[in-house]
Amino acid sequence: MRFAYRGYLAAGAALALAATLSLPQGALAQRESVPGVKVGNPSFVRKLVSAESVEQMGVQQYGQMLAKANQQGALLLDTHPQVQRVRKIAADLLPHTARWNERAMAWSWEVNVFKSPTINAFCMPAGKIAFFSGIIDNLKLTDDEIAVIMGHEIAHALREHARERLAKQRITNLSVTAVAIVFGEAAGQLANAGGGLYGLKFGRNDESESDLIGMELAARGGYDPSAGVTLWEKMSKAGKGQPPQWLSTHPSHTSRIDNIKKNLKDVLPLYEQALSQRR
């Protein structure tokens, strides 16, 4: 099957999104008093890299991926049921993003589905979302599970994890250069090897944080956040042979499920509220 499509949210959904995202200034500062999950403030170190530059990078790289997929006939048409399904879920979640990052109000959100058996999904900076058909088909995802995955990936963009990672890489590179100058090239190489250990914990924290925020986004959008449990049970079965947590940049499936269960009490009322508003 060979066709090309560069997908955008439907005009009606975009208008509804713009209206819903009209939050007052200072909304982020008031978040602690709002029902939902509790996570720390974003790392200050991310300010070493401008948000605009990272967002531009996200737009550029996402466009390159779309172009390549287009050449290979690996993008699903907007009429495909998977595309319509994923975009409907996105339209339900996106109105709730600005409470986590006011910049999201200005992002040109895009949602595409790549035809691939890969079990993966992502959201690049500036709101560029992609699902691979394999994650939907192979895991037989419910709408609730798709919403949890999507919320998780959106959370990475909202919390600017890519920006933070680039900033920390910049610090690491500067430190390695300084060590090499003072102690010689061999010592610099040793310090560079240690930089990977620093990123190890950073990756786990990001994933755990995105799990929680993703649950909240799903709940506010009217999707059952407890689907995170069944989702990671499916992921565990699909990812046999996963390395121990201390060797991975991601939390183990067991620890993720435990964390989700522990924080469900903070988001289930939001889910019930969203359901009551639909009735």
Nearest CA-CA partner of 7 in 88, 119, 72: 88
* Cβ pair 265, 37 in contact under 8 A: no
Residue of 110, 145, 153, 216 marked catalytic: 153
Sole residue written with tokens 């967002």: 55
Phi, psi (degrees; rounded to nearest 5) at 151: -60, -40
Kindly tell me the number of DSSP H helices and DSSP E strands found in the chain: 9, 3
* Cβ pair 243, 8 in contact under 8 A: no
Q: What is the DSSP letter of 223?
A: -
The residue type of 228 is G
Residue 228's Cα: distance from chain center in Å?
14
Kindly state the tokens that stand for 114. Answer: 């790549």
Residue 153 is among the residues annotated as catalytic for this protein:
yes
* Cβ pair 122, 65 in contact under 8 A: no
What is the side-by-side order of every strand in the sheet holding 121-124?
110-114, 128-132, 121-124
C-alpha to C-alpha distance for 24 and 231, rounded to whole angstroms: 35
C-alpha to C-alpha distance for 202 and 165, rounded to whole angstroms: 8
Q: Which residues are catalytic?
A: 153
